[in-house]
Amino acid sequence: MTSTSSVAAVARIAYLSSDVLVDSRPPLPTTSSFADTFRTLSHERAGSKATYSLPFGADVGSTLVQHSSVGLLSYTATSHPQLLHRLVLPLSELASTPLVLHVAVNDDLSDALVLRSTVPFCLYSRTAQQAHDNALLASRLARVEGKPVLHIFAEVEEELDEVKEEEVQSFLFAQQHSVVNGHVLPPADYAPALYRSYFDVAASTSSLVHHSVQALSQQGPTDPHTVVFSLGRAQFDFEEDGVNFVDVSLLHPLPAGRVTDLIPSSTVRVLIIEQVARWSTKWTPLYLDIVGAIQQSKRDEYPAVYSVVLENSGPVHHSDFLKLLENASGTSPSTRLHIGAAPSLSAVSETVAPHIPKHESSYLKILHQVFGERLEISNSPELVPSHGQLATTPEFALGRIRGQLESRAELVGAVQELLRDLGVTPHLHALLSKWLLVKDDPTKSRQSGEDILKALQSDEAPSTAAERVLALREYFPALSRWIVGSDAWSYDLGASGLHHAIASRLNVNILVLDATPYSSRNTADPQRRKQDVGLYAMNHGDVYVASVAVYSSYSQVLHAVMEADKFEGPSVVLAYLPYKSEDSPALEVLKETKLAVDAGYWPLYRWDPSKEVQGKEPFSLDSDSVKNDLQQFLDRQNHLSQLVRSKPELATELVSSLGENVKEARRKRAQQSYQELLTAIDAPPLLILYGSDGGKAEKVARRLANRSKMRGISTTVATMDSISLEDLAKEEYVAFITSVAGQGEFPQNARTLAKALHSAAGRSEKPLVNLKFTVFAMGDSHYWPRPEDAHYYNKAGKDLDSRLALLGGERVADLGLADDQDADGPETGYKLWEPLLWKLLGVDAVEIKEAEPEPITNEHIKVASQYLRGTIAEGLEDKSTGALAPSDTQLTKFHGIYQQDDRDIRDERQVQGVEPAYSFMIRVRMPGGVCSPEQWLMMDQIADEHGNGTFKITTRQTFQFHGVIKRHLKKAIQDINRSLLDTLAACGDVNRNVITTSIPTLSKLHQQTYEFAKGVSEHLIPRTTAYHEIWLDKKLVAGDAIKDVEPLYGEFYLPRKFKVAVAVPPNNDVDIFANDVGFIAIVDKNGDLAGFNVTAGGGMGVTHGNKKTYPRLGDVLGFCTVEQGPNIAEKIMLVQRDNGNRQEMGLDVFKAEVEKLLGYRLQPARPFVFDRNIDDYGWIKGDNGKHHFSSFIENGRVQDEPDRDFKTALREIAKIHKGAFRLTANQHLIITDVASEDVPQIAKLLATYKLDDVSQSGLRLSSSACVSFPTCGT
Ligand SMILES: Cc1cc2nc3c(=O)[nH]c(=O)nc-3n(C[C@H](O)[C@H](O)[C@H](O)COP(=O)(O)O)c2cc1C
């Protein structure tokens, strides 16, 4: 054993273990005590280590970053506030670097502890032996984890054992063992991964140094009444009855469980002694961690926890300790106690409840600590005596700063001028040039300025030329200029001068302190509205903005003030410090801060526009709880989770979804319309405004606009809500067309204007005296059939007509009325109304020779689409909008994709002038509804990664995803294809997913009908290669040379969707007669499939408002064999395709048409019986001996809900299940083909997640919901 200083011991280990060493020298005249050891060691060895000795004030961060990829990097320094605070920012860049920061401390730990939360590991060594051991531990930990480790140690000189040099290397690179010398790793649920890693390395260190190396070491009884945690030099060389002393050697990560294990239930009092007299906030670091750990623990009685500050590093005598115990008994736990020789134990602090003497002090202390003499508070209260009250206002401060910056610019000019003076000595010349280079460097500019002054004072320049520079000498150092104010400024940004400061573009930093407690946020000054200064400043663009709370994250405050200082331009730091009165106890401030930050009332964030220039994400969200909430939200909204992973895209996505391009497009369109309006001077221009929910009124409006244009009238068509009442008052001729939606209500896109008209009428105003109007009202006289509801008929149009007149408008043509019930539908009324309009505009005599452009129908779109291609591929590339072109949205249906938008925020987004929030629904094609567990897992993942985190089982036995944004569409389809499923023809005017009875008991028959269903589906699938080309990137061979053909569908595809089902009696769960084609399985004597009775019907399709369509149930046509089935389905489809008006055919004619195409007659139908149509829930055993469980999935929605984590449950089942999943046509799920030995395992999972609960009412068990509900919007 030799007596060595801890610094030398640490320096030796650092030297031996690292690849590069960086040492910071203390301020002159002191020299680095680490460097002595480095020098000696390198002299003793051939080939010295790469060692960098940095002067005080050098940029340590960039040197470390520069060497971040060298292997192990060690940094050594003696604690100094200006040195360590400057490391906060670079440490975030070094998060994945094997780096050890050895910091020697000779009195107070406060400065070193500031770095504690910026690194994953923080160790403390009280003795020289600990310093040696922890230096080894830290080096290995940093290498193993590839992360920074902070090692703070006391500067002491003591006896210690050092490891041999040759052992160091082998220790650093030794294999990791989970059990070393009897140390067994703590269980994973007890300790986080980082702690386990620490534990492992500590155990290896113990066996190397042959004594215990522990995070916390305790001495004392097992049932103490008092537990004392000690961080710092305090040494307790005495015993005290009932008191347990715990020496803290690991500060981070310290698992709560590890702490509370040391506080047995006998404990009534916990003292936390820390050597942090200079700590700038009330609550000290270890105290917060331990209080947090105790709060998390579950116990009947919680001990009182006291924070004690160790004032100096001298010995703690027994008598001091007894006095401390006595004082602790007499005060409330929120009082900070003191121990140590000075300032004397009588300083066992104030007996009154503590308060923050000056609420600003904690932030101001930080500013002082970080910037030291560079700090300039431009509106400091100290200026009041000389400048009056005005001195505290931002305008005053801004004026001062402006003046100072101008003077500094003047100094730069003076220095440059002096440089040109020939009388200047070469030495001064060099100094002046150097200052110009370093003038913006916080530390070098001051030193360099002082050197110039010295030279000037020793006459190294002609006195006249030097005079100007001397006069401006105070501007040599680059200062950090701050304006400090309160949230009172946020009530009136303009009057408070804050606006001017933000808009000034000067390099000024503004600290705004907000003291409103979270719990009184709603009562604070209810008459006045506070403005969000942060948002306001961010809107200015080139302003740094941060929102911080010192009692929530100290290091984030440091980050923010340093970034603010660095930022070239205005910076605003909003600082939270909630207190009700000057006397508010600090505990309350802490509590209020936590509430506000966790609730998101005071989010912690930083917005640094300079990062954007470097291509980095300018916004960082720092509040953990909000971040977690956001993460959870994004996980739920899974399409966005992808965006979170790639942050830069998140920003652009959000910005572009704000629809800048949409706004631009609208602006252009408006300009164009205006130009057109100006050119059409002959006839009065006509504005057509419509209100339409379902599109009928819109179609009428657009056709009217076409016809009007053909008559030479300058015509504009728009929704009613696109115009304000003020703008309407400026129009001359307006034709309104509106339908009714709901009980007499206006359609969605007409409600705002309707409301404005209503309110104006209520105020008896007459704003529309220049307006000439006519209204065409569209409705359905039988929509609300009860006689007492008759007044709803065309109510919206009628109300509009009377209200416009009331507001002073001139009705130039009578109200037109359209009734869906009329012989020709709305056309009947329209034909009477339109001529009135032409007459009024004086164009009734105009003869139209050209054919009127036909409105574009789906058929046109299909034909022009080049076999369902359209411009989908181009639309997917267009990042300016979240939507596809309207015609493409008709085509994507054939690819299994529907475009939708969030209706709930439609109005809000319209007001904001941005496009609707578009997303897509994707439906899978999965004939017979059977999938493997692997496919299930893939679906689960697709919902998470691309959709809204849930998915649905549809009545057509397939999966449906919602909320997929455009950017994810292709990836989602590709993932579905990777699972050997596809989405082709899952929607659209083609044959849809073929469904079949799920019959789990009769596996053989199910297999046969399932194969048949698959065969029919494949037979009727569209042949276009567009799907593969667009979604799977399979390019067209030789460009357009190979043309698609659709032998079944042709270019027009079908007039409407087509549905096929296969039922196995006696269960009609597929609702066979609601399909266009049905196959009813007929079995032979052996129970094998003999063939099918074929049914044909109308698929229940009906067009709303079109009296000529009605739901048509299926009829049995006859019997066919299994082989004949697919061809029969095809022929029925062709007859329907070519005879859209099938109801006029009659069954016999229809059958004859089908048989004509088949070339043979169907056999007579065979007997069958259906006796049920719902699923049989619970377990059953099939004829192959396998077990099947039918579970009730309400409305087919696979999602996790409180207490019903069905999505998780099914994922867990899919992970172990060896059989299959069958989706039922009632939107439920059967877990099939479970071997007897696997039943208990599956049953256990079902029970754990309550999926085995089928005790609902019969009505509920047989309920089902529209699969789109509540998301349908198209
Ligand atoms: C949900 C709903 C509610 C309706 N309520 C009424 C009503 O109260 N009075 C009426 O005359 N017509 C009512 N109708 C009929 C529509 O106004 C009529 O079909 C109209 O032609 C639809 O036009 P649109 O597609 O432009 O919205 C209603 C239609 C729907 C879908």
Atom of ligand 1 nearest to the CA of 691: 26
Distance 782 CA to ligand 1 centre (A): 10
Least confident of 323-327, 831-835, 968-972, 1104-1108: 1104-1108
Q: Evaluate: CB of 475 within 6 angstroms of ligand 1.
A: no
All structural domains of the chain: 4-175+192-209 (3.40.50.970), 216-339 (3.40.50.920), 360-521+529-621 (3.40.50.970), 683-841 (3.40.50.360), 861-928+982-1037+1044-1158 (3.30.413.10), 1178-1262 (3.90.480.10)
**Position with higher pLDDT, 489 vs 731:** 731
* pLDDT computed for residue 335 by the predictor: 62
Q: Evaluate: CB of 776 within 6 angstroms of ligand 1.
A: no
**DSSP β-bridge partners for residue 897:** 922
Q: Evaluate: CB of 780 within 6 angstroms of ligand 1.
A: yes
Q: Evaluate: CB of 693 within 6 angstroms of ligand 1.
A: yes
Please count the other Cβ atoms lying within 10 Å of the Cβ belonging to residue 1017: 23
Distance 699 CA to ligand 1 centre (A): 14
Atom of ligand 1 nearest to the CA of 743: 8
Query: From CA 639, how far away is CA 644, in angstroms rounded?
Result: 10
* pLDDT computed for residue 352 by the predictor: 30
Q: Evaluate: CB of 695 within 6 angstroms of ligand 1.
A: yes
Could you tell me which residues come within 8 angstroms of residue 823 by beta carbon, excluding any fewer than 6 positions away?
A: none
Q: Evaluate: CB of 745 within 6 angstroms of ligand 1.
A: no
Least confident of 99-103, 199-203, 835-839, 1143-1147: 1143-1147
**Position with higher pLDDT, 699 vs 390:** 699
Confidence tier at 495 by pLDDT (50, 70, 90): low
The angle that helices 1125-1138 and 1147-1158 make with each other, rounded to 10 degrees, is 120
Q: Are strands 99-105 and 148-154 parallel, antiparallel or unpaired?
A: parallel
Structure tokens at 1130: 């095809």
Closest residue to atom 18 of ligand 1, CA basis: 779
In this model, does residue 342 exceed pLDDT 60? no
In this model, does residue 890 exceed pLDDT 90? no
Query: Pocket of ligand 1, candidates 740, 746, 778, 789: which has the most ligand atoms within 8 Å of its Cβ, to mutate?
Result: 740
* pLDDT computed for residue 695 by the predictor: 83
Could you tell me which residues come within 8 angstroms of residue 810 by beta carbon, excluding any fewer than 6 positions away?
A: 771, 772, 773
The H-or-E segment that residue 245 falls in is: strand 243-248
Q: Are strands 544-549 and 509-514 parallel, antiparallel or unpaired?
A: unpaired
Atom of ligand 1 nearest to the CA of 690: 26
Confidence tier at 662 by pLDDT (50, 70, 90): very low
* pLDDT computed for residue 1242 by the predictor: 94
Confidence tier at 649 by pLDDT (50, 70, 90): very low
Confidence tier at 347 by pLDDT (50, 70, 90): very low
| Residue 64 · residue 22 · CB < 8 Å | yes
Confidence tier at 580 by pLDDT (50, 70, 90): confident
User: How many helices and strands in the chain, by DSSP H and E?
Assistant: 46, 47
- Nearest partner of 85 among 278, 273, 360, judged by Cα: 278
In this model, does residue 1039 exceed pLDDT 60? no
| Residue 287 · residue 305 · CB < 8 Å | yes
Inter-CA distances, 115 with 532, 554, 597, Å: 31, 10, 22
* pLDDT computed for residue 1222 by the predictor: 94
Closest residue to atom 29 of ligand 1, CA basis: 741
Buried b (16+ CB within 10 A) or exposed e, 653-668: beebbebeebeeeeee
Query: Pocket of ligand 1, candidates 778, 780, 815, 903: which has the most ligand atoms within 8 Å of its Cβ, to mutate?
Result: 780
Output DSSP code: residue 645: H
Q: Evaluate: CB of 784 within 6 angstroms of ligand 1.
A: yes
- CA dihedral in degrees (717, 719, 723, 728; nearest 10)? 60
Encode pLDDT of 753-775 as tens digits.
999 999 998 888 899 999 999 99
Distance 750 CA to ligand 1 centre (A): 14
The percent of residues in the chain predicted with pLDDT above 70, rounded, is 82
Q: Evaluate: CB of 794 within 6 angstroms of ligand 1.
A: yes
Output DSSP code: residue 858: H
Q: Evaluate: CB of 1103 within 6 angstroms of ligand 1.
A: no
In this model, does residue 4 exceed pLDDT 90? no
In this model, does residue 460 exceed pLDDT 60? yes
* pLDDT computed for residue 814 by the predictor: 92
Q: Evaluate: CB of 1101 within 6 angstroms of ligand 1.
A: no
Q: Evaluate: CB of 742 within 6 angstroms of ligand 1.
A: yes
Q: Evaluate: CB of 1069 within 6 angstroms of ligand 1.
A: no
Query: Pocket of ligand 1, candidates 700, 776, 783: which has the most ligand atoms within 8 Å of its Cβ, to mutate?
Result: 783
| Residue 1230 · residue 1189 · CB < 8 Å | yes
Distance 820 CA to ligand 1 centre (A): 9
Query: Pocket of ligand 1, candidates 689, 693, 736, 739: which has the most ligand atoms within 8 Å of its Cβ, to mutate?
Result: 739
Confidence tier at 307 by pLDDT (50, 70, 90): confident
**DSSP β-bridge partners for residue 573:** 511, 546
Query: From CA 262, how far away is CA 217, in angstroms rounded?
Result: 10
Query: From CA 155, how far away is CA 862, in angstroms rounded?
Result: 82
Output DSSP code: residue 489: G
Return phi, psi of residue 57, to 5°.
Answer: 95, -10
The percent of residues in the chain predicted with pLDDT above 90, rounded, is 30
Q: Are strands 951-953 and 1229-1234 parallel, antiparallel or unpaired?
A: unpaired
User: What mean pLDDT comes out for the span 870-897?
Assistant: 87
Q: Evaluate: CB of 744 within 6 angstroms of ligand 1.
A: yes
In this model, does residue 1270 exceed pLDDT 80? no
Encode pLDDT of 231-273 as tens digits.
988 888 888 889 999 999 999 888 888 888 899 989 989 999 9
* pLDDT computed for residue 753 by the predictor: 93
- Nearest partner of 1002 among 747, 1184, 1237, 735, judged by Cα: 1184
Distance 739 CA to ligand 1 centre (A): 6
In three-state secondary structure terms, 1092 is strand
Q: Where are the beta strands (DSSP E) in 446-519?
A: 480-486, 509-514
Structure tokens at 1074: 């609601």
In three-state secondary structure terms, 931 is strand
In this model, does residue 605 exceed pLDDT 50? yes
**Position with higher pLDDT, 296 vs 204:** 204
Q: Evaluate: CB of 1105 within 6 angstroms of ligand 1.
A: yes
Q: Evaluate: CB of 694 within 6 angstroms of ligand 1.
A: yes
Quote the mean pLDDT of the chain.
82
Distance 779 CA to ligand 1 centre (A): 5
Closest residue to atom 25 of ligand 1, CA basis: 694
In three-state secondary structure terms, 1061 is strand
In this model, does residue 1180 exceed pLDDT 70? yes
| Residue 1129 · residue 1117 · CB < 8 Å | no
Inter-CA distances, 483 with 486, 489, 578, 702, Å: 10, 12, 20, 59
User: What mean pLDDT comes out for the span 697-702?
Assistant: 91
Q: Evaluate: CB of 1112 within 6 angstroms of ligand 1.
A: no
* pLDDT computed for residue 785 by the predictor: 84
In this model, does residue 973 exceed pLDDT 90? yes
Could you tell me which residues come within 8 angstroms of residue 37 by beta carbon, excluding any fewer than 6 positions away?
A: 7, 8, 11, 12, 15
Return the ∠ at Cα 350 (arms to 349 and 354), rounded to 5°.
105
Least confident of 809-818, 843-852, 1121-1130: 843-852
Confidence tier at 931 by pLDDT (50, 70, 90): very high
Structure tokens at 335: 């009082």
Confidence tier at 1110 by pLDDT (50, 70, 90): low
In three-state secondary structure terms, 1229 is strand
| Residue 452 · residue 461 · CB < 8 Å | no
Type of residue found at 708: S
* pLDDT computed for residue 663 by the predictor: 47
Query: The whole model's pTM is what?
Result: 0.46
The H-or-E segment that residue 217 falls in is: strand 216-219
- Nearest partner of 14 among 31, 36, 30, 29, judged by Cα: 36
Inter-CA distances, 274 with 124, 239, 408, Å: 12, 20, 44
